[in-house]
């Protein structure tokens, strides 16, 4: 039995959830998201301001998809009501970021600046020259954009320079000895 799937998803005020066949659509103050699931194994219904996900059989696939479907619907509800954010930190001498319109401009020690256009549905802000915040409704897209920004200059283990997630621990190595 799925420990996550058996709990219903509570719908907060201001959020509407509609189920049409195997498609769940969630609308809220921050936007609209939808996802599809395998309707041969899972049934979804809205009752008493809650979304209830139930498996149609006790097969291994149905039980595996039960918790996954419930978690995906919960992510949609949280996304349209609160949103998701990731914070990045630039560590290194001369490393800085700034916004030019909807484009993020990064100075990361290359001979040129790196321009990163913000995709649709994502808001990027620079709270300080070394802090970047990525905000959006879609959790997967927020994580993907943050990973793409980090990929330009990953933190290196000797001095810890690079773009890292806020609170990320960079395991340091000892330098070369004389």
The pLDDT of residue 175: 86
The pLDDT of residue 2: 65
| Average pLDDT per block of 10 residues along the chain, 178 residues long | 85 93 93 89 92 91 90 95 96 94 94 95 94 96 96 94 94 88
The pLDDT of residue 64: 87
The pLDDT of residue 1: 58
Residues 6+ apart with CB under 8 A from 51: 8, 9, 11, 17, 19, 24, 44, 45, 70, 73, 77
The pLDDT of residue 177: 86
Ranges of each domain in the chain = 9-81, 84-165
- On whether the pTM is more than 0.85, the answer is yes
Look up the CATH number of domain 84-165.
3.90.930.12
Q: Which two tokens stand for residue 86?
A: 């990731």
How far, in Å, CA of 73 to CA of 71, rounded? 5
We find that the CATH architecture of domain 9-81 is Alpha-Beta Complex (3.90)
DSSP assignment, residue 138?
-
Give the DSSP H/E element, type plus range, for residue 140: helix 139-151
The structure tokens 């070369």 sit at 176
């Amino acid at each position: 039995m799925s420990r996550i799937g058996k709990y219903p998803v509570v719908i907060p005020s201001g959020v509407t959830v509609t189920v049409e066949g195997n498609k769940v659509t969630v609308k809220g103050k921050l936007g609209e998201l939808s996802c599809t699931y395998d309707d041969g194994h899972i049934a979804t219904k809205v009752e008493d301001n809650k979304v209830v996900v139930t498996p149609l059989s006790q097969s291994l696939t149905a039980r595996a998809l039960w918790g996954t479907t419930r978690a995906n619907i919960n992510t949609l509800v949280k996304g349209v009501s609160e949103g998701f954010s990731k914070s990045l930190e630039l560590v290194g001498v001369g490393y800085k970021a700034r916004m030019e319109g909807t484009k993020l401009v990064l100075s990361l020690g290359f001979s040129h600046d790196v321009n990163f256009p913000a995709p649709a549905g994502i808001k990027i802000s620079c709270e300080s020259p070394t802090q970047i915040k990525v905000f959006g409704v879609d959790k997967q897209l927020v994580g993907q954009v943050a990973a793409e920004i980090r990929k330009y200059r990953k933190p290196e283990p000797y001095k810890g320079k690079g773009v890292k997630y806020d609170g990320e621990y960079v395991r340091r190595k000892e330098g070369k000895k004389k």
